[in-house]
Structure 1
Amino acid sequence: MESEYWDKALGLITEQGRKESLASLFLLLLTLDEREAIGARLAVFRALLAGKLTQRQIAATLNVSIATITRCSNTLKNLSDAERDRLQSLILSAP
């Protein structure tokens, strides 16, 4: 059942052709905290992939917990090289 819900959510998200439409959808579906958490998670991945700051520096700079950094770091450690390269190209090329 969970994968069915996720599949429908992905379908709805991909139907949004413009940034404004996607932003409107997320405003309706997600709380402010959830939207901020997604943005923070992407910023943490971006910082970890860039490799210029320590985890403590990332936490201080982005105002996120060490636990969030650890979760992202562990995710990166468990990715295959291809998955990591894909994530890096998606995140580091994003505006």
Structure 2
Amino acid sequence: MFIDLIQSATNRGDLQRLFKLMLTREEHSAINGRVAIAKALIEGKESQREIATRLGVSIATVTRGSNNLKSMNDGERDFLMQAIQAVNNE
């Protein structure tokens, strides 16, 4: 149902408004944090401890993100990497 709701958004503004209406500030912040952690882990330029310090999250949060990346198959990891790179290029 949530995926259908997201697909109903026809532009970025509608999608932003939809997320604002459906997610609390904490949930929005948590999602942004997960993206930042995944991006940093994929880039591989910092240690987990450095990522945690820079982003102001616990090392356990970064470790969970790292474990999540490790549990992905190659196709899932490639998809995520491409999506993050696409956002970097905007």
Is it true that 1:85 corresponds to 2:70 in the alignment?
A: no
Counterpart in the other structure of 1:19: 12
Structure 1: any 5+ residue segments left out of the alignment? 1-7
Counterpart in the other structure of 2:61: 68
Counterpart in the other structure of 1:5: none
The alignment-based identity, stated in percent, is 44
Rounded Cα–Cα distance in structure 2 between residues aligned with 1:55 and 1:92: 20
Q: Deviations over 1:27-51 (max 9, x none)?
A: 1111101001000100000000000
Moved over 6 A (4+): none
User: Which of residues 50, 57, 62 is equivalent to 2:43?
Assistant: 50
Structure 2: any 5+ residue segments left out of the alignment? none
The CA deviation at 1:92 is: 2.2
Higher relative contact order by CA 8 Å / sep ≥ 6: 1 or 2? 1
TM-score with structure 2 setting the length: 0.92
Q: Deviations over 1:52-72 (max 9, x none)?
A: 000011011111111211111
**Matched positions, count:** 88
The residue type equivalent to 2:52 in the other structure is: A
TM-score with structure 1 setting the length: 0.87
The residue type equivalent to 1:88 in the other structure is: M
The CA deviation at 1:81 is: 1.2
Rounded Cα–Cα distance in structure 2 between residues aligned with 1:47 and 1:76: 12
Rounded Cα–Cα distance in structure 1 between residues aligned with 2:22 and 2:69: 27
